[in-house]
Amino acid sequence: MTPSDPPTSQTKASEDRGEENRISVELMMKVKEDQDMEAFEQLVDLHKTAVVGTVAKMLGSPNDAEDIAQQVFVRIWKSASRYQPTAKFTTWMFTITRNLVFNEVRRRQRKPVYSLEEREEESHVTTADLQTSTPDESALHTELEEAINQAIQNLPEKQRTAVILRRYEESPYEEIAQVLGMSVSAVKSLLFRARTQLKEDLEKYLRA
């Protein structure tokens, strides 16, 4: 691309992520060095939506996503003194998120499956924003969303994390590799296997 060429959407997105990371690192360093609560609150405002959304998708449910997201930021605050800006801030943040979510998953596996009433409540929350659609459209959309969410939940932990970060957060392979402690080539292989499995699980919808 020559200096006169307009920036592509990919270049613009990369520049935006770079600027967001610069701001995040500056805020985090203020938290680390000065225990700056105002900087911390700005950091939370900047990343809360991404953390809550990622937690909800990793758990396959919006239930408890806010609580676990809050735990993520509490952990960030408590770990501030050890923070080193050697990687992107979101890499560090999503590594913390991943660990807390997996702890929650393991905790739930030791407890009884939640009730039918809780499942119905979850479904209501998931479909609340579809009230402007026709009943048939809402039902089809809800069924597809539930099938996608369930297919993602059926993936092994690392595959599930990689798919969510790549699909919903548009994280680059390098960042996913750091979050999972893998090489970039291993992440690409992981995602290939995950996508293959998702296509098999969602075959009837892909044929429609």
The CATH 1.10.1740.10 domain(s) of the chain lie at 18-112
The Cα–Cα gap between 61 and 68 comes to 12
Comparing 155 with 1, which gets the higher pLDDT? 155
Q: Which residues contact 95 (CB under 8 A, 6 or more apart)?
A: 178, 179
Q: Which residues contact 155 (CB under 8 A, 6 or more apart)?
A: 163, 194, 197, 198
**Strand stretches in 46-136, DSSP E:** none
The Cα–Cα gap between 169 and 4 comes to 31
Position 92 pLDDT exceeds 90: yes
Q: Which CATH fold would you assign to the domain 18-112?
A: Rna Polymerase Sigma Factor; Chain: A (1.10.1740)
**DSSP letter at 131?**
T
Q: What CATH number was assigned to the domain covering residues 134-208?
A: 1.10.10.10
pTM, rounded to two decimals: 0.73
**CA dihedral of 14, 16, 20, 26, whole degrees rounded to 10:** 90
Task: Read off the tokens for 68.
Answer: 């676990």
Closest by alpha carbon to 191, among 169, 158, 146, 153?
Answer: 158
Please, which pLDDT band fits residue 135 given cuts at 50, 70 and 90? low
The dihedral built from the CA positions of residue 50, 79, 162 and 70, taken in this order, carries a sign that is negative
Position 130 pLDDT exceeds 70: no
Question: Residue 178's CB: how many other CB atoms inside 10 A?
Answer: 21
Residues 24-56 pLDDT 10s: 999 999 999 999 999 999 999 999 999 999 999
Position 74 pLDDT exceeds 60: yes
Length of the chain: 208
* Percent of the residues in the chain that have a pLDDT greater than 70, as a whole number: 77
The CATH 1.10.10.10 domain(s) of the chain lie at 134-208
Residues 99-116 pLDDT 10s: 999 888 888 777 554 443
| Cβ–Cβ < 8 Å for 81, 67 | no
